[in-house]
Amino acid sequence: MTVSKHIATQAIHAGRINDEQFGSLATPLYQTSTFVFDNAMQGANRFAGEEAGFIYTRLGNPTTRQLEMRLAAMEGMEDAAATATGMGAVSGALLANLSAGDHLIASKAVYGCSYALMAHQLTKWGIEVTFVDMTNIDNIEASIQPSTKVIFLESPINPNLVVLDIESIGKLAKKHQLISIIDNTFLTPILQQPAQFGFDLIVHSATKYLNGHGDVVAGIICGSAEMISHIKLTVLKDIGATISPHDAWLILRGLKTLPIRVEQHCKSAQIVAEFLAQHPMVDKVHYPGLKEHQGYKFIGKQMKAAGGVIGFEIKGDIAEGTALINRMKLFSIAVSLGDAESLIQHPASMTHSPYSQEERLDAGISDTLIRISVGLEYVEDLIADLKQSLDQVSNSDQRVA
């Protein structure tokens, strides 16, 4: 069938493999570890790459393949590789393209485990890593060495929601013939498609918005057919960071509602951010949907909306921030994002704890920063929950005074 290029239709139909035997409407779940060959020669031919077909689920599976083709279509890429976790996607994209002696340029602020991989693991294998403030394109260009091979970034950045100019960074990477990799987890292909700006690889923690129901850990790498084949046949095959068919099936189900879920996440997050911005106990709100945010100018240019994640800092210290989190009644204290449930967490002690305090502050991640993922609950209930906790901070502060 011909699938519309509109992403809402792609989210339901792209990559679909028709069940010719039984006519199942829902994607069949091929919960099998291995596949039977007609004869020994067919098995040998498949291992040699001379005949198409499935061999072993670590190497490919029909359910997984539908997920890969659907995400590739939604990101405007040729192909995709599904991984066991979001970090499996980040690791696969980096390890397949870096060797001892190569140089990697990464954004100074990234997800904590991405930072740990680059700062603590890649360097052990002879890969040099430079973390730079990518809000200034000159910083990136000044860091390029003869051995530089890859640029890695997030936009918006987790957890301080800084928005990077991905059009300029994509052009810079092409100019210097560097492989460009971007983590698009926060916005999803619904709100941002980095392939339009020349990025070579797009990674996602599919655990988050793509699945949307908090019951899967998985990742996705999207790119050219050649690059994805290389990643699959080297890192993913040999390290084994491949997705289970059941998790792929759950994400396929989640993708069908991704466009309408993202729309509601964005609407509610905008209302919550505006509430936080006017509360007397909030010192700063990090949300690109607010006009005073440095990323606001990129909405309509490289991103369609600001997304469903908000960072904010309260007036006070870390103890008051902890107290605020502990008083929440509707928001769940949990890491992750993109679920139907609203979540709240403290990056400095949780998701970004692999950074030292000095490294975190240098990356713009303060001790008082709180990150929330706005879910699909009635937005006035979310505001009431935030208000009751913030008001208690305010009343406590007045009593002390």
Distance between CA atoms of 40 and 279, rounded to whole angstroms?
Answer: 70
Tally of residues, the chain: 401
Cis amide prior to 28 (ω within 30 degrees): no
Q: Distances from the Cα of 26 to the Cαs of 13, 15, 82, 106, 252, in angstroms?
A: 11, 13, 20, 40, 10
Question: What's 251-281 look like in SS3?
Answer: HHHHHCCHHHHHHHHHHHHHHHHHHHHHCCC
Distance between CA atoms of 324 and 328, rounded to whole angstroms?
Answer: 7
Q: Are 78 and 15 in contact (CB under 8 A)?
A: no
Q: Which residues are catalytic?
A: 58, 111, 183, 208
Tokens 């699945």 locate to 211
Distance between CA atoms of 206 and 144, rounded to whole angstroms?
Answer: 31
Residue 76 burial by Cβ neighbours in a 10 Å radius (0-12, 13-18, 19+): middle
